[in-house]
Homo-oligomer: A and B are copies of this chain.
Amino acid sequence: MTIKLTALPNGIKVFTDSIEGFESASIGIFVNVGSVDEKSGQEGLSHFLEHMAFKGTKTRSALQISSAIESVGGFINAYTGKEITAYHTKVLKKDVKLSIDILSDILLNSVFDKDEFEKERGVIIQEIRQVNDSPDDLVFDLFQEQAFKNTRLGTSILGSEERIQSYTTSDLENYIKSKYATNRLIICASGAVDHNEIVEYAEKYTAGFSNFDVPIVEKQTYSGGVVSKAKDLEQVHYIAGYEGVSHTDNNKYDLCVLSAIIGGGMSSRLFQQIREKRGLVYSIFSFVSNYRDTGTFGYYAACAPEKAKDVMLYSNEEIDNILKNGVTREELERAKNQLKASLLMGLESSSTRMERMASQYFYHGRIMDMTEVAKNIDAVNQDSIKHIAEKILTTNNTTTAIVGPKDEINNILQEAV
C-alpha cells in the first residue's frame, strides 16, 4: 500500500498517497462536519461557511485567494456534503506548499467581512434557485428531505432562502469556532506528493488550529413517505427509494452489488426493461447513499408524464422479480466485476484517491487497501444478495419523490402510489 499517515502535534492527521509518474497533485483539507451537524435554525450554515472561506482572510482578498492558485495553473474548489465538507486543490508538484498554505489560510483566518457576506448571501440564493430550476437536482433534494423527514439528514445542504436571509456574520463565526476542531480535520494528498514534505508544510501552516469537543450528532433515522412538486415540465422526474445501510454496515457491499444489478449500467435490469425493451425513458439508474448511521437505496427515471405510471409499474415488477427469483449468477459476476474494475480505474486519478482516503478515515477510522475492498466485493454471493434484497426491499415504508406537471402528479398520487 502506498498510503502514509502522520498525526501532527495539534491532532490533525495527514494522509498521502503518492502516484509514480504523476506531475500534479490533488490536495484537500477534509472536515468531518456537514449539514447534519447543524441544529434547527442553522440550516445551510455549513455550506455558507464553505462559500465565505473564499471571500478573504487577514492577509488575502478573495481575488488573491483564487489568483494565488490560478496563477500557477492550479484549481481550487470546495463542496459541502451531509457529513463532510471538503476544500481542495489540484496543482503541479512544485506548488504543493502554496496549496497547503492557501487551504489552511482560508479555514484559519477568514475575516467574514460584512459586505462580502451580503454579496455571498445573494450568490447562495441564486444557487438555491438554480436547483429549483433543475428538475433532476430538485427531485433528489425532495427525496432526501422526505426520506429523512424531521431529521438533520433531511435538511437541504443549501438551506432555504428564508434561512439564508436570516443569518449574520456572527452565525458563521460561531459555527466555525464550534465545529472546525483538529479532531474533525484531516489533510489528504495524492499524486506527485512526498509524504515528509506534505507533513512539513501541514505542520507549518495548520499550527493555528486547536482541538475541542464537537458535539456528536444524534442518530439519524429514516422516515419515508411521498413528496411531490408541481412544475410546468415536459417530463415527470421520479425517484422511488428505500431505507439503505450505513457506511459501516456488514451488508454495504451486498447492497452496492444489488444496486449495480438493478440499475447500475446498460445491462442492468431497469435499463434493459424500461429503456431497451420499452423505450420509455432516456435516463434511468439506481443509486446507493451511505451515511454514518443509515443510508438509502433508490432509482431515478425521467419520462413522458403520460407514461409515468407504466415506468413505475414495470420498475416495481423488476423489484418484485428480484425478491421472488433472486439474481442470476451471470449478473452477479458482472456487477462484482464492474465494482472491482471501478476500484482499479480509480487508482489512476489523484482526486479519486484523495477522496477515498478521506471517506475511509472518517467512516472507518482507517484506510482499507484495495485488496481488502476487493475481498469484500468478492464475498458477495447469491445468498447474501437474497438477504439484503429481503432486508431492504420488503418494506411498505418506501420514499417517493415526483417533480412534474400538476395534473399528472395528482393522477399518479391517486392511483399508483
Contacts and interface: CB of A to CB of B under 8 A. Distances in A.
26 contacts: A19-B21, A21-B21, A23-B345, A63-B272, A66-B266, A66-B267, A71-B267, A71-B334, A72-B341, A73-B338, A73-B339, A73-B340, A73-B344, A76-B266, A92-B344, A122-B278, A123-B275, A123-B279, A123-B281, A126-B283, A126-B304, A130-B235, A130-B302, A133-B234, A191-B348, A349-B349
Contact of A118 (B55, B279, B303): B279
Contacts of A233: 133
A71 to B, nearest CB: 4
Nearest to A93: B344
A369 to B, nearest CB: 15
Contact of A276 (B63, B91, B267): B63
Given A23-B347, A130-B282, A341-B74, A277 B334 contact: no
Given A24-B341, A24-B344, A133-B235, 19 more contacts: A23-B344, A63-B272, A70-B334, A71-B267, A73-B337, A73-B339, A73-B340, A74-B341, A91-B341, A119-B277, A122-B278, A122-B279, A125-B304, A126-B303, A127-B282, A130-B235, A134-B134, A134-B135, A348-B348
Nearest to A237: B133
A372 interface: no
Interface in A257-277: 265-267, 271-272, 275-277
B345 A90 contact: yes
A289 interface: no
Contacts of A281: 123, 126
Interface in A215-260: 231-235
A313 B127 CA distance: 21
Nearest to A274: B123
Contacts of A350: 348
Nearest to A121: B279
A59 interface: no
A124 interface: yes
Contacts of A90: 345
Interface residues of A, number: 77
Interface of A: 19-24, 54-55, 62-63, 66-67, 70-76, 90-92, 118-127, 129-130, 132-136, 191, 231-235, 265-267, 271-272, 275-283, 302-304, 330, 333-334, 337-342, 344-345, 347-350
B132 A234 contact: yes
B344 A282 contact: no
Of residues A265, A271, A342, which shows the largest number of chain B Cβ atoms within 10 Å of its Cβ? Answer: A265
Closest 8 CB pairs of A and B: A73-B341, A119-B279, A122-B279, A66-B266, A73-B337, A129-B234, A127-B282, A126-B282
Nearest to A95: B341
B282 A124 contact: yes
A345 B24 contact: yes
Contact of A20 (B21, B330, B347): B21
A191 B302 CA distance: 35
A106 to B, nearest CB: 12
A327 to B, nearest CB: 14
Contacts of A341: 24, 72-74, 91-92
Contacts of A340: 73
A120 B277 CA distance: 9
A341 B24 CA distance: 9
Q: Which of A91, A124, A276 has the most CB of B within 10 A?
A: A276
Contacts of A349: 348-349
Given A119-B279, A267-B66, A71 B304 contact: no
